């Protein structure tokens, strides 16, 4: 129904398409009168002009079906739009931060009538309809209203509710129909289907108030314990005896919480959980940006998962993918028949490496979509951090492109100005709305200021993955010990830039796939015990080195084979000490790290690190200090990376007294030979390494040893 003028008469025009009807009438609910409609087409298209009615009034349609059955129901077009002019203005401007509450599908009650309001952005469409089981997937039933220049189409369909499958049928300007899933959909059916499902995400009753309050209280204090366990939920553990099925969110929550608490990690980082059709993409080719994947349950089940972890003092970081999206025809690609979300020019809009499309960050509505997507995960699911994937590909227009395959920015440079502005805006809004939530960049270049605040000219992330340290350190440990002395610089070079960003030291899933080998098998040695010793030495060095920590699942017990997404980790290996010993060491390193402020609240302070000796390449030994500002607690770290026991090895230290051996990666408890310093050592008044006193040590083979000194002795 809409106001209409016919000749000199003012009135309202009512049209309806009811495929099963042979007759239809408009029922005035206030007057309880009916006006018969004219049947214009045998398929069931009806129309009537009602004169002397200047405004839309409350009415229902009364249809007489060919079977003789009589049905009376509300007409969707009797309800006014649910989006305001302000909503549309802010969306087109790129500043409607909660647009996910307006676009998409939302269960609402208008007056006393319940139903679902649908809204979608498709500015170049000739027609948009909502289709589903409720209308036989026939786009003639519920054509949506166009809200003018905003490009938004909307409709309220009474009688629909939770669990309805739906899509948008979009007729492009050439008359071609495209059936698309909802870009703002909150839940999706399983492949091979891809319909969106109406779902109210407000169903879970949260019980994590204490966690959220603590997170808010920590806002701004980012130099605190952060030890992250990266998890791919489908392959952490599986129900092997039940057809190797994946566990649900609700099944995983207690198992994962118990393990993470035992291991001493402060957070988990889940690989992308936004909906994606192909398991083999690991979640990085997203088609449902606002929907937790169906694979482990409903959105309410995911809320339970996060809530449970919070109640067990574990933070949840989500791997977020705003850098690209796949070409699947049912999703965002050429959404309304035009390059709506992506650039039209493949030199700007296509990733040749991944076969995906690049968002048009300069388009207000696209930026609004992505910013709102980030905020929706924090709002709906209480996520504690976003690890942003492939940031380097967003920063540079020539990322992985040859000469002539990219277009410079308006200043002639290679920086993607629009993407940089988008990242800055997202980081600022995340920190504004959700104090204490972390943003983390997976970024591998020397782009300056990634973790510098926006008001200081930076990009605004809290942390950046330290890809340089990871690459150089692994290159060193992959050498056989006899050759390591020629590559000593790989081990020490990272100290030169350690404090240029707020770094997280990482060994992620990327290091154990695509033929790179597992962490254990990367170690340059010939047999498993020696490889395990090298890996223990590496991990102890990693935990003692400045920077927050992240380790991918399975690496914590030295899984032998590469990670594969289609099965579970090789937990049976824990019966062998070579593997269980690595796990026990990680557990103890986390406990030491979290319990010692010098190590966990001093990662970003350049005054808290000092080399003792960075130049002993011939022995393949490094030694360094971690210390607090007052000099009341110090740690001396000694890494020896050849299979040689060194007796009488002397290092200088800045304090006299007893130095307690708090970690020895060569301990028999961890599967080592047990050589060490009997729990500690006392200084000698022998100058060494520019200090007036020193420690006379036994340095075990392939080991990292950590000593602690305190002013209390």
Which residues are known catalytic residues?
389, 442
Nearest CA-CA partner of 263 in 8, 553, 612, 636: 553
User: Phi and psi of 162, rounded to 5°?
Assistant: -55, 135
Per 3-state DSSP, the chain is made up of helix, strand and coil in percentages (nearest 5) of 30, 30, 40
DSSP codes joined into one string, 69-108: -EEEEE-GGGS--SS-HHHHHHHHHT--TTGGGTSEEEEE
Residue 310 CB coordination number (10 Å)? 23
Query: Nearest to residue 591, comparing CAs of 540, 538, 656?
Result: 540
260 Rama sector, left if φ>0, alpha if ψ -120 to 50, beta otherwise: alpha
Write down the residue that tokens 């606002």 correspond to: 290
In this structure, are residues 279 and 296 in contact, taking their beta carbons and an 8 Å threshold?
Answer: no
Diameter of the chain by CA atoms? 109
CA 256 distance to own-chain centroid: 18
User: What's the number of CA atoms in the CB half-sphere (13 Å) around residue 388?
Assistant: 34
| CA 186/CA 164 separation, integer angstroms | 12
Tell me the residue length of the chain: 713
Separation CA 121–CA 410 (nearest Å): 28
Residues 6+ apart with CB under 8 A from 170: 122, 125, 127, 128, 177, 178, 179, 180, 335, 336, 337
Burial of residue 515 (CB within 10 Å: 0-12, 13-18, 19+) is exposed
User: First-to-last CA distance in the chain?
Assistant: 85
Structure tokens at 310: 């919070």
- Residue 384: CB atoms within 10 A of its CB come to 24
Question: Is the backbone peptide bond immediately before 376 cis, with ω within 30 degrees of 0?
Answer: no
Alpha helices in 312-444 (DSSP H): 346-349, 364-381, 391-395, 417-433
Q: Do 377 and 383 meet the contact criterion of CB atoms below 8 Å apart?
A: yes
User: How far apart, in Å, are the Cα atoms of 264 and each of 228, 258, 432, 457?
Assistant: 9, 10, 30, 36
Beta-ladder partners of 441: 388, 464
């Amino acid at each position: 129904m809409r106001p209409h003028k016919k000749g000199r008469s003012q009135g309202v025009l009512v049209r309806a398409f009811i495929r099963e009807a042979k007759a239809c009438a408009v029922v005035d609910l206030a007057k309880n009168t009916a006006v018969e409609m004219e049947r214009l087409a045998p398929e069931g298209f009806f129309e009537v002009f009602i004169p002397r009615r200047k405004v839309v009034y409350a009415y229902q349609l009364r249809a007489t079906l060919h079977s003789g059955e009589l049905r009376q129901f509300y007409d969707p077009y009797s309800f006014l739009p649910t989006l305001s002019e302000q909503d549309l203005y802010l969306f087109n401007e790129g500043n409607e931060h909660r647009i996910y509450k307006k676009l998409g599908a939302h269960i609402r009650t208008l007056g006393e009538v319940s139903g679902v309001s649908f809204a979608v952005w498709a500015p170049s469409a000739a027609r948009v309809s909502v289709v589903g089981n409720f209308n036989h997937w026939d786009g003639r039933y519920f054509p949506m209203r166009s809200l003018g220049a905003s490009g938004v189409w909307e409709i309220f369909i009474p009688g629909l509710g939770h669990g309805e499958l739906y899509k948008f049928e979009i007729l492009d300007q050439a008359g071609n129909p495209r059936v698309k899933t909802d870009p703002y959909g909150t839940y999706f059916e399983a492949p091979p289907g891809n319909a969106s499902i109406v779902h109210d995400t407000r169903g879970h009753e949260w019980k994590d108030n204490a966690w959220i309050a603590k997170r808010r209280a920590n806002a701004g204090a980012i130099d605190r314990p952060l030890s992250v366990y990266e998890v791919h939920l489908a392959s952490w553990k599986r129900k092997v005896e039940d057809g190797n099925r994946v566990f649900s969110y609700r099944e995983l929550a207690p198992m994962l919480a118990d393990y993470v608490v035992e291991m001493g990690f402060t957070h988990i980082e889940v690989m992308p959980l936004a909906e994606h059709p192909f398991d083999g993409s690991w979640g990085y080719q997203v088609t449902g940006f606002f929907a937790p994947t169906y694979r482990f349950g409903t959105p309410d089940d995911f809320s339970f998962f996060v809530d449970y972890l919070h109640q067990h003092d574990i933070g949840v970081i989500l791997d977020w993918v705003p850098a690209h999206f796949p070409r699947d025809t049912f999703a965002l690609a050429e959404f309304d028949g035009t390059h709506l979300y992506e650039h039209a020019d493949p030199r700007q809009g296509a990733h040749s490496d991944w076969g995906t499309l690049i968002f048009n960050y300069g388009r207000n509505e696209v930026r609004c979509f992505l910013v709102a997507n980030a905020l929706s995960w924090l709002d709906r699911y209480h996520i504690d951090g976003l690890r942003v994937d492939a940031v380097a590909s967003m920063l540079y227009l020539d990322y992985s492109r040859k000469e002539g395959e990219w277009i410079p920015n308006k200043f002639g440079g290679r920086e993607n100005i629009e993407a940089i502005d988008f990242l800055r805006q997202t980081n600022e809004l995340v920190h504004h709305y959700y104090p204490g939530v972390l943003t983390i960049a997976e970024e591998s270049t020397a782009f300056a200021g990634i973790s510098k605040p926006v008001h200081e000219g930076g990009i605004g992330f809290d942390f950046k993955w330290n890809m340089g340290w990871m690459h150089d350190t692994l290159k060193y440990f992959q050498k056989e010990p006899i050759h390591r002395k020629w590559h000593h610089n790989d081990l020490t070079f990272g100290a030169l830039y350690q404090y240029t960003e707020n770094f997280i030291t990482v060994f992620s899933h990327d290091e154990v796939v695509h033929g790179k080998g597992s962490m254990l098998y990367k170690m340059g040695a010939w047999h498993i015990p020696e490889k395990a010793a090298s890996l223990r030495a590496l991990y102890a060095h990693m935990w003692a080195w400045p920077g927050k920590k992240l380790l991918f699942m399975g690496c914590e017990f030295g899984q032998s084979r590469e990670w594969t997404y289609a099965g579970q980790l090789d937990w049976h290996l824990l019966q062998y000490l070579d593997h269980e010993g690595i796990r026990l060491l990680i557990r103890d390193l986390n406990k030491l790290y979290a319990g010692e402020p010098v190590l966990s609240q001093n990662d970003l302070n350049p005054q808290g690190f000092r080399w003792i000796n960075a130049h002993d390449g011939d022995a393949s030994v490094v030694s360094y200090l971690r210390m607090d500002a007052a000099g009341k607690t110090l740690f001396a770290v000694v890494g020896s990376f050849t299979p040689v026991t060194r007796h009488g090895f002397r290092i200088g230290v800045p304090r006299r007294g007893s130095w307690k051996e708090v970690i020895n990666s060569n301990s028999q408890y961890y599967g080592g030979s047990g050589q060490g310093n009997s729990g500690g050592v006392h200084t000698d008044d022998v100058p060494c390494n520019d200090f007036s006193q020193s420690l006379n040590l036994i340095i075990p083979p392939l080991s990292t040893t950590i000593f602690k000194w305190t002013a209390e002795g």
